[in-house]
């Protein structure tokens, strides 16, 4: 499998020194607790915001601490060609534009609460960055007034580095058992097939009829599913298996906790989410690799809340890799990007993901050096998700997976199965007053 060229433009190591002359006279708080933030803009890409820590004027940076990336822009080959062409032939350079604010993020009565301190325009030359890393800046920049002892200093690091990815696309809705193609430029090559099915309602072990491995461990699916009695409206038993071109199963996603309407409502709530188990084959059995929980968020615009965690082989605690939400109506991107915590336009918008870097759930600190699953670093994967507002538009998820996280066919297939599960969760979290398409309804339900 040949990857597609991508470039990751990263902004990290932010810090701000504000001289005493620039601070409000009434301020008595320590500089490290002063709320500051910045807005980061790259041409034609969504605006991102990030918190900027304040440090004492006499402090050096870094101050004995390691900071993760605070913003990232992911550029495919087409993005790079357009940006490089505009900088060469458009009569002007390409800039990363950063506006630094003091005060808290957000707005009151439509008025932004932050006060603009200064702006930074950093020139970029992205030519050739798909094959080599480039450090554009690492150090301090004077912002604000250029008067003696009254200028603030802003620290940042900006670099571009190659981030090649495998790109896969479903040839139809996951529930329609489509083929999955690998995309490489204008070439579309089939690599997987998907089989959607329902588990037998009476199977207490919750094994899927679509899983052809006869010696599957009987305890896996039941142990991860809910043991509580379910009453009322529910959606359950969905399963999708990913096969390679030889017909061998290489990954699966199985609904282990039904999606159930909360008492007195018509929606799946955060307090009682449905869940999927992502499985990989090993030693003639299915082994759990990850767990995806999903629910329907309340608010002015309904959102699909989700949480994805890895399931270690020999530990009770899972490792949360992604926890965020996307628009139920418009859809968005499901993203696993380790070490980046940013927001778009200061809001939790579609495609925004907060991914704790290898944070174990439960007691115990496993440490970065000791915990084997910390191999997941930087960008891991993303998947397009079509929202309910797509109307008659067919959902054909596109999945991007970083090359560094794919060592075999099963690795890629696991991410494909995960993307199918998040796409199907949009339907699983649909209001129970709304009908599902026939492919998502067991035959016995259609006959009743």
pLDDT digits (tens, 9 = 90+) for 216-271: 444 556 666 654 444 458 999 999 999 999 999 999 999 999 999 998 888 999 99
Q: Where are the beta strands (DSSP E) in 82-114?
A: 94-102, 107-108, 111-112
Instruction: Give the CA distances from residue 81 to residues 65, 97, 128, 274, 426, in Å, rounded to whole numbers and listed in that order.
Output: 37, 20, 10, 42, 34
* Strand 343-344, strand 54-55: pairing: unpaired
Q: Residues 158, 164, 167, CA angle at the centre, nearest 5°?
A: 130
Nearest-angstrom CA–CA distance, 28 and 23: 10
Mean pLDDT of the chain: 80
Q: Residue 9: its pLDDT value, please?
A: 95
Q: Is the dihedral of CA 282, 286, 288, 294 positive or negative?
A: positive
Structure-model confidence comparison of residues 169 and 390, the more confident one: 169
Is the pLDDT reported for residue 210 higher than 60?
A: no
Q: What is the pLDDT of residues 126-136, one digit of tens each?
A: 999 999 999 99
Q: What's CA 347's distance to the chain center, in Å? A: 15
* Strand (E) or helix (H) holding 10: strand 6-17
* Greatest mean pLDDT among 110-124, 312-326, 392-406: 392-406
Query: What is the pLDDT confidence band of residue 376, given thresholds at 50, 70 and 90?
Result: confident
Is the pLDDT reported for residue 84 higher than 90?
A: no
Q: What is the average per-residue pLDDT within 140-154?
A: 76
* Greatest mean pLDDT among 235-239, 336-340, 365-369: 235-239
Q: What is the pLDDT of residues 92-101, one digit of tens each?
A: 789 999 999 9
Is the pLDDT reported for residue 205 higher than 90?
A: no
Is the pLDDT reported for residue 201 higher than 50?
A: no
Provide, rounded to the nearest whole percent, the portion of the chain with pLDDT above 90: 53
pTM (predicted TM-score): 0.81
Q: Residues 113, 118, 120, CA angle at the centre, nearest 5°?
A: 125
Is the pLDDT reported for residue 365 higher than 90?
A: no
Check: CB of residue 371 under 8 Å from CB of residue 358: yes
Please count the CA atoms within 13 angstroms of the CA of 15 that sit on its side-chain side: 22
């Amino acid at each position: 499998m040949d990857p597609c060229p991508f470039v990751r433009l990263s902004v990290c190591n932010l810090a701000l020194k504000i001289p005493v002359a620039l601070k409000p006279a009434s301020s008595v708080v320590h500089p490290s607790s002063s709320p500051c933030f910045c807005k980061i803009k790259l041409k034609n890409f969504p605006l991102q915001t990030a918190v900027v820590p304040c440090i004492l004027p006499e402090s050096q940076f870094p101050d004995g601490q390691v900071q993760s990336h605070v913003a990232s822009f992911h550029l495919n080959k087409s993005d790079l060609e357009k940006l490089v062409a505009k900088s060469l032939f458009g009569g002007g350079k390409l800039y990363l534009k950063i506006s630094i604010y003091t005060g808290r993020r957000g707005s009151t009565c439509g008025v932004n609460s932050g006060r603009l301190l200064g702006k930074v325009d950093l020139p970029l030359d992205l030519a050739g960055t798909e094959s080599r890393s480039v450090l554009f800046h690492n150090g301090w920049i004077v912002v604000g007034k250029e008067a003696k002892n009254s200028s603030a200093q802003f620290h940042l690091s900006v670099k571009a580095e190659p981030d090649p990815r495998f790109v896969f696309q479903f040839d139809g809705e996951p529930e329609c058992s489509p083929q999955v193609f690998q995309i490489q430029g204008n070439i579309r090559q089939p690599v997987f097939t998907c089989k959607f099915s329902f588990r037998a309602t009476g199977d207490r072990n919750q094994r899927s009829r679509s899983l052809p491995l006869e010696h599957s461990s009987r305890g896996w699916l039941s142990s991860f599913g809910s043991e509580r009695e379910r009453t009322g409206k529910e959606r359950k038993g969905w399963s999708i298996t990913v096969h390679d071109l030889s017909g061998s199963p290489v990954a699966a996603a199985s609904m282990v906790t039904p999606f159930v309407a909360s008492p007195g409502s018509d929606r799946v709530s955060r307090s009682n989410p449905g869940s999927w188990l992502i499985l990989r084959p090993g030693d003639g059995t299915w082994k759990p690799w990850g767990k995806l929980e999903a629910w329907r968020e309340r608010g002015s615009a309904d959102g699909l809340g989700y949480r994805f965690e890895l399931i270690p082989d020999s530990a009770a605690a899972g490792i949360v890799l992604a926890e965020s939400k996307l628009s139920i109506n418009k859809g968005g991107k499901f993203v696993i990007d380790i070490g980046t915590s940013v927001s778009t336009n200061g809001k939790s918008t579609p495609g925004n993901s907060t991914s704790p870097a290898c944070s174990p759930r439960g007691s115990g600190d496993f440490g970065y050096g000791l915990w084997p699953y910390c191999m997941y670093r930087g960008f891991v994967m993303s998947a397009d998700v079509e929202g309910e507002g797509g109307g008659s538009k067919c959902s054909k998820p596109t999945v991007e997976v970083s090359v560094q996280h794919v060592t075999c066919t099963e690795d890629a297939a696991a991410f494909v199965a995960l993307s199918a599960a998040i796409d199907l969760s949009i339907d699983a979290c649909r209001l129970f007053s709304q009908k599902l398409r026939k492919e998502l309804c067991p035959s016995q339900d259609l006959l009743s």
